[in-house]
Amino acid sequence: MASTMLSLASATPSASLSMQESHKEKVKLWSSGLSFNKEKINPFSNTKQSFGRISMVAAVNVSRFEGITMAPPDPILGVSEAFKADNDERKLNLGVGAYRTEELHPYVLNVVKKAENLMLERGENKEYLPIEGLAAFNKVTAELLFGADSPIIQQQRVATVQGLSGTGSLRLAAALIERYLPGAKVLISSPTWGNHKNIFNDARVPWSEYRYYDPKTVGLDFEGMIADIKAAPEGSFVLLHGCAHNPTGIDPTPEQWEKIADVIQEKNHIPFFDVAYQGFASGSLDADAASVRLFAARGLELLVAQSYSKNLGLYAERIGAINVVCSSSDTAARVKSQLKRIARPMYSNPPIHGARIVANVVGDPALFNEWKAEMELMAGRIKNVRQKLYDSLSAKDKSGKDWSFILKQIGMFSFTGLSKAQSDNMTNKWHVYMTKDGRISLAGLSLAKCEYLADAIVDSFHNVS
């Protein structure tokens, strides 16, 4: 491989320029809009290491990155930063989707602490993982997703590669699409998680949107969704949220999933699932995998990105996987080898810590059961908070507006239907931090704060246009 790469390099560089020409070159560099500060010329004239030669020029002091402007703040992660800067004691952070306890503290699962201590006791080494990641992790993650007795696993038709959480796994898949199906488009829901577009943009995969959220019903625009999927060029990738849609919290019903699968098959599209909340949505790992398993059962080739950030609380350890279900085990092997080839020049091999935690938790029956119980608690707390918020809103809002969408939505997030101006009011007047699209993270809400939040929402909804 190295020899192929070397042949890409050009022939020997051009002949050396004369002194005069090289000086002219430098002047050109300077005057092309780069900053030019007379005081800074020749900082080397008082250096001690000159070899008796005249210090030439100050070209090095001119920055190559002069024109670089500040990147805009991340719309999601930037919310937490603004929250931190606020000193009002009523402030509430409903921005980023990280689970909080009723006391609004971060939560490290007990099984995770136990697994870490186990790992420390065993004194495991820190050798490089293979490029595709920890084998024990890859095995359990595919089984969790598809079911251990799934034929696609038994037939070895799924290429599973450990990835850097959901983001990294999506990025590997995007790179695979760009490389092997160049020109293929990805259809993403309107709206979707903000980083999806960034991932496909940076991977140079074209994308377009399918209708999803209906502001009138604060629910699913099912007809629009079907129509847009139908209208897309055959062989498009359709990005679907396996459960607990982010940012809306609105999931298709089982019947709707069947119809979505029908139209995808009809159009020869490829389903591409982002599963970031398995177990976290309903509290049941299997129930939350139903949509993926429905598609898999139809014998379709599909892609699934997984993340353990939320359901195992392993946000910071970046653990997930990309699964590519193929029509044959031979194809799966080839696809896996090419996913590795994409990963190698990105990070060489994935981090061990999170992978080992997952493998230990899922691989030990006692820990696995404990995990399921903790997950039910987390999902349960969110359901309770939804109920309390709904009750508070119904009590406080005399307009007769139907707030039941809060109960129908699922997972960490709720799309409130608040406009940008109304969301700004939430922040500026009530110190409630949320994203500008009207999304609130219920994981950051306590029962104790539901009434305050309800006041804020009612005020913003009715008094701000």
Partner 1 sequence: MAFRSAMLSKVVSRSSVSCSRCMSSWWGSVEPAPKDPILGVTEAFLADPSPDKVNVGVGAYRDDNGKPVVLECVREAERRIAGSLNMEYLPMGGSIKMVEETLKLAYGENSDFIKDKRIAAVQSLSGTGACRLFADFQKRFRPDSQIYIPVPTWANHHNIWRDAQVPQRTFHYYHPESRGLDFAGLMDDIKNAPNGSFFLLHACAHNPTGVDPSEEQWREISYQFKVKGHFAFFDMAYQGFASGDPERDAKSIRIFLEDGHHIGIAQSYAKNMGLYGQRVGCLSVLCEDEKQAIAVKSQLQQLARPMYSNPPLHGAVIVSTVLGDPELKNLWLKEVKGMADRIIGMRTALRENLEKLGSPISWEHITNQIGMFCYSGLTPEQVDQLTNEFHIYMTRNGRISMAGVTTGNVGYLANAIHEVTKSA
Residues marked as catalytic = 193, 274, 310
When the beta carbons of 113 and 420 are compared against partner 1, the nearer one is 113
Least distance to partner 1, CB of residue 462, Å: 35
Q: Give the integer Cα–Cα distance in Å for 285 and 307.
A: 13
Identify the residue whose tokens are 């992790």: 137
Q: Give the integer Cα–Cα distance in Å for 415 and 212.
A: 12
Q: Give the integer Cα–Cα distance in Å for 44 and 247.
A: 55
DSSP 315: G
When the beta carbons of 200 and 405 are compared against partner 1, the nearer one is 200
AA identity, residue 222 = F
Q: Give the integer Cα–Cα distance in Å for 277 and 274.
A: 9
When the beta carbons of 148 and 346 are compared against partner 1, the nearer one is 346
Q: At what angle do helices 110-122 and 352-363 cross, to 10 degrees?
A: 110
Least distance to partner 1, CB of residue 463, Å: 34
The candidate with the shortest Cα–Cα distance to 299, out of 158, 454, 405, 136, is 158
Least distance to partner 1, CB of residue 38, Å: 15
Q: Which residues of 281-312 are buried (b: 16+ CB within 10 A; e: fewer)?
A: bbbebeebbebbbbbbeeebbbbbbbbbbbbb
Least distance to partner 1, CB of residue 130, Å: 7
Least distance to partner 1, CB of residue 368, Å: 19
Least distance to partner 1, CB of residue 336, Å: 9
DSSP states of 438-462: SEEEGGG--GGGHHHHHHHHHHHHH
Chain centroid to Cα 275, Å, comes to 10
When the beta carbons of 56 and 227 are compared against partner 1, the nearer one is 56
When the beta carbons of 252 and 271 are compared against partner 1, the nearer one is 271
Strand partners, 37: none
- Positions of E strands within 26-84: none
When the beta carbons of 322 and 389 are compared against partner 1, the nearer one is 322
Phi, psi of 415 (to 5 degrees): -90, 110
When the beta carbons of 412 and 418 are compared against partner 1, the nearer one is 412
Phi, psi of 332 (to 5 degrees): -60, -40
Q: What is the dihedral of CA 255, 260, 262, 267, to 10 degrees?
A: 170
Least distance to partner 1, CB of residue 332, Å: 9
Helices (H), 246-299: 254-266, 285-288, 290-297
